[in-house]
C-alpha cells in the first residue's frame, strides 16, 4: 500500500505546528504533531499549504463545525462572508461538481477541522 503524507503547517512559519494527514486507499488518519494552530481570531489551518496568506478558520457551534476563510490578499472574503456550517458546504458540493474548477473538498476539510476543534475546545 502506498501512503502519502501531507503536512499542513499552522500559524506562522516559525511556530512549527502542524497536522500530518496520511492518505492511502484506506480512510485517512490524522495526527496532531504540535499545538498552536490558533491566533487572536481563532483556530485555523492552511487549506492551500503552498499559500500561507489564506487561512481556514474553524469553530463548533451548536454541535456543527463551521468554516470561515480569510485571505490576506482579498479582505472582502472575510468581510463579506460569515461562518458557513459544514452541512451547507456539503449541499453546495453538488453545484461545484457540475461546474468544475474550485474543489471544496480541498478547502473545507472536515477531518482536520474536527481535530482542531477537539484539541482546542
pLDDT given for residue 84 in this prediction: 95
pLDDT given for residue 105 in this prediction: 74
pLDDT given for residue 33 in this prediction: 41
Predicted TM-score of the model (pTM): 0.69
Q: For 92-103, give one letter per residue: b (16+ CB within 10 A) or e.
A: eeeeeeeeeeee
In tens, the pLDDT along 4-63 reads 334 444 433 333 344 544 444 444 444 444 444 899 999 999 998 999 999 999 999 999
pLDDT given for residue 104 in this prediction: 77
- Label residue 47 left, alpha or beta by phi (over 0 means left) and psi (-120 to 50 means alpha): alpha
In tens, the pLDDT along 74-92 reads 999 999 999 999 999 988 8
Decide if 89 contacts 102 (C-beta within 8 A).
no
pLDDT given for residue 44 in this prediction: 96
Query: How do beta strands 64-71 and 54-61 pair?
Result: antiparallel
Amino acid at each position: 500500500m502506498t501512503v502519502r503524507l501531507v503536512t499542513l503547517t499552522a500559524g506562522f512559519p516559525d511556530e512549527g505546528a502542524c497536522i500530518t494527514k496520511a492518505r492511502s486507499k484506506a480512510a485517512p488518519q490524522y495526527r496532531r504533531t504540535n499545538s498552536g494552530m490558533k491566533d487572536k481570531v481563532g483556530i485555523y489551518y492552511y487549506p492551500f499549504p503552498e499559500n500561507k496568506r489564506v487561512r481556514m478558520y474553524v469553530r463548533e457551534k451548536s454541535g456543527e463545525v463551521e468554516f470561515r476563510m480569510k485571505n490576506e490578499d482579498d479582505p472582502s472574503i472575510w468581510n463579506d462572508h460569515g461562518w458557513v456550517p459544514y452541512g451547507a458546504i456539503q449541499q453546495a458540493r453538488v453545484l461545484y461538481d457540475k461546474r468544475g474548477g474550485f474543489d471544496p473538498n480541498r478547502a473545507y476539510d472536515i477531518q482536520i477541522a474536527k481535530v482542531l476543534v477537539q484539541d482546542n475546545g
